[in-house]
Amino acid sequence: MPKAKKGKPAKRKAAKKSARKPARPAAKRAPKKAPKKKAATPAPKKKPAKPAPKEPAAKKVPAQAKAAAPAFAAPARKIGIAVQLYSVREDCKKDLPAVLKAVSDMGYEGVEFAGYYERSAQDLRGMLDDLGLQVAGTHIGLDTLLGDNFAKTVEFNQILGNKFLIVPGLAKERTATKAAWLETTAHFNSIAEKLKPYGMWTGYHNHHTEFTPLEGELPWDTFFGNTSPDVVMQVDTGNALHGGCNVVPFVSKYPGRALTVHLKEYSKTNDKALIGEGDVDWKSAFKLCEGVGATQWYIVEQESYAFPPLECIAKCRQKLRSMGR
Q: Helix 121-131 and helix 89-106: axis angle, to 10°? A: 30
Q: Is residue 134 part of a domain?
A: yes
Q: Is residue 195 part of a domain?
A: yes
CB 21: neighbour CB atoms within 10 A?
5
Please determine, for residue 220, whether its predicted confidence score (pLDDT) is greater than 90: yes
Looking at 36-40, 110-114, 223-227, 306-310, which range is the least confident one?
A: 36-40
Q: Is residue 76 part of a domain?
A: yes
Nearest to 170 by CA among 200, 220, 204, 202: 204
Q: Give residue 5's pLDDT.
A: 42
Q: Is residue 198 part of a domain?
A: yes
Tell me the pLDDT tens digit for each residue of 30-67.
444 444 444 444 444 544 444 444 443 444 444 443 44
**What range defines the domain where residue 80 resides?**
71-322
Backbone angles phi, psi at 322, to 5 degrees: -70, -20
Q: Is residue 148 part of a domain?
A: yes
Position with higher pLDDT, 275 vs 45: 275
The full 3-state SS of 228-269, as one line of letters, equals CCCEEEEEEHHHHHHCCCCCHHHHHHCCCCCCEEEECCCCCC
Please determine, for residue 156, whether its predicted confidence score (pLDDT) is greater than 80: yes
Q: Give residue 77's pLDDT.
A: 81
Q: Is residue 65 part of a domain?
A: no
CATH number of the structural domain spanning residue 273: 3.20.20.150
| Residue 262, strand partner residues | 236, 299
Q: Is residue 1 part of a domain?
A: no
Q: What is the DSSP letter of 214?
A: B
Computed over every residue of the chain, the mean pLDDT equals 85
Q: Give residue 73's pLDDT.
A: 81
Q: Is residue 19 part of a domain?
A: no
Give the C-alpha separation, 73 to 76, whole Å.
8
Q: How many domains does the chain have?
A: 1
